[in-house]
Amino acid sequence: MSVGTRARRGTVATIGIAASVALALAGCSGSPQSEAEGPFVIGVTTDPDTLFPWKATQFQAVNVLQNIYGTLTEYDADLNVVPGLAESWEVSEDGLTVTFHLREGVKFADGSDFDSEDVKFSLDAIKAEETAAVAASSLGSVEEVTAVDPATVEVSLTAPDAALASNLAVVNMAMLSSDDTEEELNTTPNGTGPFAFDGRVASQSLTLKKNPNYWGDAAALDTVEFRVIPDEDSILSAMQSGNVHLAVFDNPLVAQTATDMGLDVAETPQLSYHTLQLNAHNGDVSDVNVRLAIQCAIDRQEVLDTAAFGEGEVTGPITSPAYKSDPAARPCPTRDLDKSAEYLAEAGMEDGVTIDAIVSQGEYASSVDEAQNLKDQLAEANIELDFEVLESGAFVDAWIAGEFEAAIALNGGRQDPDGMYGRYFTSDGNLNPVAGYSSPELDELFAQGRATSDEAERKEIYAQVSRELEDNAAWIWLFTSYTFTATTSNVDGFVPVATGSLQYLRTTTFK
């Protein structure tokens, strides 16, 4: 079955064909190992840009850190919120107090005890402006954190927060030891997760080892090495020779080649989304008519077909299954160059406009192809997109600082829309300098979304959020795509999930 014509969408589908494995490998100069030798190796294209979980936005950094650190709540494979370091919690009748009951006997990798004081320290520090934590706004409703006793934490809220339990499940909310500092953890991470930091060679590899102090079932793997290999084709070659045992590919053609080689390949739809981010704080995109002109000049399906070979679907802002946006509910749901010209004229720029953009090299496979296709399409609308290709770390630095007019990006999705966008598109959101857009209407809608736990009400609220974002072309949402998880034949037990998480390394075996 070729990539692009798969029969099953929306599920995790294994596309390796067992009967062809032997034949496929017979024609290869090197074949995957049948016996485990040395460490379990994951091929990645980029070195993690930080080892401090509260500031991690790069996918590669998040994938490493989520195996080192624990959070109060977690997601299971179906993205349900389940207990993590908190084995249970309850919400008061008025919704203003959440009491967390912590697992007892939990230790950090360095052997020190985890307790309520570490939770209070972590939540207070994440909220503090001077920390510059990327998920700080997700704790915007938290008024006070009290360590009631070593195993109990009481969180007082200014208003009910239906998104809190979900927001606490991401690694940006990792629980840290109150004895550790950011400087120390950027060198030697110290968490409560299934793996512990073992060593790093900058720009080459990062190694984890089984954490003997982990509170849950012990990981089957003794060591995991994240090995930096420049591109997906080179990773595939390393898998063919048995030097790499797991890799997550973005490029469908690489995934098809992996299947033809006899590797096991699973296709997983993602909550992450490809977008042209327009920072309304900067340059000509501060004019809503310029942003709408850009929106109307883009054929999103063409971007998907060109950059990702049609492997995905056009999307609106919210990708969470329960709140998914309708991509047709936007100005210019299909390309309309006449309408684009009208918006440019309304902006007083009928002679054209030039937009500067940044794009990451190496963090995901389709980035530069997306940028080039957008540039070609916009040129036909008298809009010049000048893009600069940056190394992943430099891109993240410029992005976090909001030092761009436009950015071609792959952004991580979340199960709850508040955690997905509340920190971006509210006036006091800590990532609003990146988003560049907010309004009193959005502030009120996000507040309403947090205040109610009624799913039907929340769905309508976030549909209004989506319309506000699209009607003002806050960003140009393009498409969602798939990840393709390739493993050699001696790997079992890894479960890909829609967030792109590698959390199921804890259940992976290597024979």
Question: In the chain, where are the structural domains located?
Answer: 13-52+194-269+483-510, 73-185, 273-482
> What is the fold, at CATH topology level, of the domain defined by 273-482?
Dipeptide-binding Protein; domain 3 (3.10.105)
The answer to whether 343 touches 293, Cβ cutoff 8 Å, is yes
Which pLDDT value is given to residue 36? 55
Distance (Å, rounded) from C-alpha 297 to C-alpha 381? 6
The answer to whether 280 touches 474, Cβ cutoff 8 Å, is yes
- SS3 state at 487: strand
Distance (Å, rounded) from C-alpha 37 to C-alpha 73? 35
DSSP string, 218-264: PPS-SEEEEEE-SSHHHHHHHHHTTS--EEEE--HHHHHHHHHTT-E
Which pLDDT value is given to residue 363? 84
Tokens of 137: 């706004």
Residue identified by tokens 């720029």 is 349
Q: In this structure, how many other beta carbons lie within 10 angstroms of the beta carbon of residue 104?
A: 12
> What is the fold, at CATH topology level, of the domain defined by 73-185?
Dipeptide-binding Protein; domain 1 (3.90.76)
Which pLDDT value is given to residue 37? 58
DSSP string, 181-223: -HHHHTTS---SSSEEEEEEETTTEEEEEE-TT-SSSPPS-SE
Q: How many C-alpha atoms does 284 have within 13 Å on its Cβ side? A: 21
The overall pTM is greater than 0.85? yes
Q: Backbone phi, then psi, for 477, in 5-degree steps?
A: -75, 130
Homologous superfamily assigned to 13-52+194-269+483-510: Periplasmic binding protein-like II (3.40.190.10)
The answer to whether 269 touches 10, Cβ cutoff 8 Å, is yes
> Mean pLDDT per segment of 10 residues, for the chain of length 511 residues?
34 31 32 57 96 96 97 96 98 97 98 98 97 96 98 98 97 98 97 98 96 96 97 96 96 96 97 97 97 98 96 97 95 97 98 97 90 98 97 93 96 95 96 95 97 96 98 98 97 96 97 90
